[in-house]
Each structure stands twice: as structure tokens, then as C-alpha cells.
Amino acid sequence: MENLLLDEMLRRTATWCRILGIDTEFFGGGGDDALLAQAKKEGRILITRDMALSKRCPKLGIKCILLSSEKAEEQIAQIISETGAQLFFPQEMRCPECNGELGIAPADSVKEEVPPHIASEHEEFWKCKKCGKIYWEGSHWKNIKEFYGRVLALLEKGKTEKT
């Protein structure tokens, strides 16, 4: 699928997209014109909740998805159904910080880089291939899995409503 560019109002949504493995750039500010220019230059689908901004896209040849919900799980379900994105979570995840791909890191290779109690309590680690940040199934993991479950349920519901 094509890659996404989320506008600056959607930082939380961008983080969730990345955790679920969707290639997502986040626009850090600079105004609508700069945002549109970046989407055009990088060939990304612009994701926004700003109707006026979305209306400018067709003329510029930019694909845009106007999100209808304020809830992150509903936004992501909309993004997935409109782009046809395939999710391979948790095999494929991206770094919430920088959008780099996460690779499995053997525990031995990261032991020196994480706090000792983390190293002794966990066996599975991921390392960002871009910024080097290390992740493990910490206290947020349960929330992440529940969030993913809610997205899947919404997609399932969407399918039945269409047929």
C-alpha cells in the first residue's frame, strides 16, 4: 500500500499506526501548504480531520482520507479499509518514535542496553533499524493488544455492514 502522511493534529493516531506496522510519517508543523507539498513530493496519502484541507487535495493530485471519527481505533479501521492496508502485527511493527522498522533482537544483544531488571524479566526484544531504540513487551503491551483487538472488531463489523 501507499505510505501515509498524518497531519499534526493526529500524533496519537500516527503512533498507533506505527505500532501496528503501518508506514506513517507525521507532519511536525509548518502550515497547510508545507503539509500538502510534502504529501505531493513523497507521494503519500494525506490523512486529516480537516475538511478544508482535504478539499484542496484533488486539485493538487494528492490522495486524501478525511477521518470521520475522533477515536484512534475508528480512525485506524477507516484508514485500513480505505487503503486496503494489510496488517502483520505483531510480526511487523514500526518504531513509534521514528517510523523505522522493528527487527527482532536476541536478548543477549540488547542486555547491556536495557535496565537489568528488564533484561532478566524479558526474553523477546525488538530494535528499531533506524534509531536503535529497544522495545519489549512492557506494561503497555496489554493495552496494545486490546487496541489491536478493537481495530479488528471494527473492521469485521464494517465488512458485515457492507454485505
Binders of Zn ion among residues 85 to 144 (CB under 5 A) are 95, 97-98, 100, 128, 130-131, 133
Binders of Zn ion among residues 17 to 36 (CB under 5 A) are none
The Cα–Cα gap between 49 and 71 comes to 11
4: nearest Cα among 58, 62, 45, 34: 45
* Of 98 and 144, CB closest to Zn ion: 98
Please, what is the minimum distance in Å from the beta carbon of residue 45 to Zn ion?
Answer: 22
Burial per residue of 40-61, b for 16 or more beta-carbon CB atoms within 10 angstroms, e otherwise: eeeebbbbbbbeebbebbeeee
**Angle at alpha carbon of residue 161, lines to 157 and 163, rounded to 5°:** 120
Please, what is the minimum distance in Å from the beta carbon of residue 24 to Zn ion?
Answer: 12
Torsion-angle region of 56 (φ positive above 0: left; ψ -120 to 50: alpha; else: beta): alpha
Please, what is the minimum distance in Å from the beta carbon of residue 74 to Zn ion?
Answer: 26
* Of 57 and 95, CB closest to Zn ion: 95
Please, what is the minimum distance in Å from the beta carbon of residue 126 to Zn ion?
Answer: 10
Where does this chain bind Zn ion (CB under 5 A)? 95, 97-98, 100, 128, 130-131, 133
